[in-house]
Amino acid sequence: MTEDEKLSKSEVAKIGAEARWGDSATLPRAIWGANDQPLRIGNIELPCYVLDDERRVLTASGVQAGMAIAQGGSMKKGLSRLELFVSGKIISPFISGELRDRVENPILFRTPANGKAYGYEAEVLAEICEAVLSARQAGKLQAQQQPIAQQCEILMRGFARVGIVALVDEATGFERVRKRGELHKILEAYIAKELLPWSKRFPDSFYEEMFRLHNWEYDPKSVARPGVVGKFTNKYIYDALPEGVLEELKAKNPANKRRHHQYLTEEVGHPHLERQITAMTTLMRASDDWGQFKKLYAAAKARAERTA
């Protein structure tokens, strides 16, 4: 048996993720959340974050602890305790293939403190709890698994309470007020309180590709740009930042005397800006003309919206 054959599916997936995301700048990044601000359900605390692609995640260790799954001890096949639990002969009949795949492939992301963490989309915990409670109702659980079922019941009741509050907010219109508060928090994360000194944020390759697709002559020593370049930059770069950020940048920089990126934060705004510039430069390189780029951009945007 080769070394690769000895690895479990989850180990292979995690190694692949590490290789794929070896450059930490490309990792999904948590823009909201902190370990000292967990989601509290009764006495259960679940560290939670919102990533820059708007996925709501719970840390893998938090999910395991929240379900009262034993920590440490002997391990099998290199799987985490949670993976062992959902793949066990008692619970696995109640776990869908899609759910098992999501458990075996946790999300590797950057925390606001710039550390690395594994997590699961919040719905994963609810789906596992439903499976455990279904197994209990079917009389399949062993005695030592009953405490896990009890935790799952507490969690599901807590989720239901949170859900009914969200529905009331929507029905009464308070959701709009709450969203305004959320927007304020997003702007605080993205917009710097002090104007940052200028530094080059847009690489020459970004403009070189844009000029190529329009058959414009490109001079890397010149800062002169056709007026439409600014409109393109807003549409394909700044508009991809969270809703409200571009409007706030325009409000802070109405006469365009500064560069918009000087108003972005170093911790959240600039990393997101750099990722978007890289993505758009890649699409332009793959295009033969501006029309083809617009089609590729529209297809990529539609794909992102479907998976959001």
Query: If you write DSSP's letter for every residue of 165-208 in order, what string do you get?
Result: HHHHHHHHTHHHHHHHHHHHHHHHHHB-SSPPPP---S-HHHHH
Q: How many CB atoms lie within 10 A of CB 166?
A: 13
Percent of the chain with pLDDT over 90: 44
The angle subtended at Cα 88 by Cα 82 and Cα 91, nearest 5°, is 90
- pLDDT of 201 over the 60 cut: yes
pLDDT of residue 181: 65
pTM for the whole structure = 0.51
- What confidence score (pLDDT) does residue 13 get? 52
Query: What distance in Å separates the CA atoms of residue 239 and residue 233, rounded to the nearest whole number?
Result: 9
Cβ pair 112, 34 in contact under 8 A: yes
- Give, as one character, the DSSP assignment of residue 264: B
The domain locations on the chain are 3-172, 192-307
Sequence-separated (6 or more) residues with CB below 8 Å from residue 40? 46
**Of 13, 14, 118, nearest in space to 64 by CA:** 118
Are the CB atoms for 233 and 250 separated by under 8 Å? no
What is the tens place of the pLDDT at every residue in 3-42?
A: 343 444 555 555 454 544 445 558 898 888 766 678 888 7
Question: Quick one: tokens of 35?
Answer: 């370990």
Write out the DSSP string of 57-104: EEEHHHHHHHTTPPPSS--STT--HHHHHHHSTTTGGGS-HHHHHHHH
CA distances for 257 relative to 11, 199, 210, 263, angstroms: 51, 15, 23, 12
Around Cβ 235, how many Cβ atoms within 10 Å? 13
Q: What is the pLDDT of residues 137-155, one digit of tens each?
A: 999 999 999 999 999 999 9
pLDDT at 35: 63
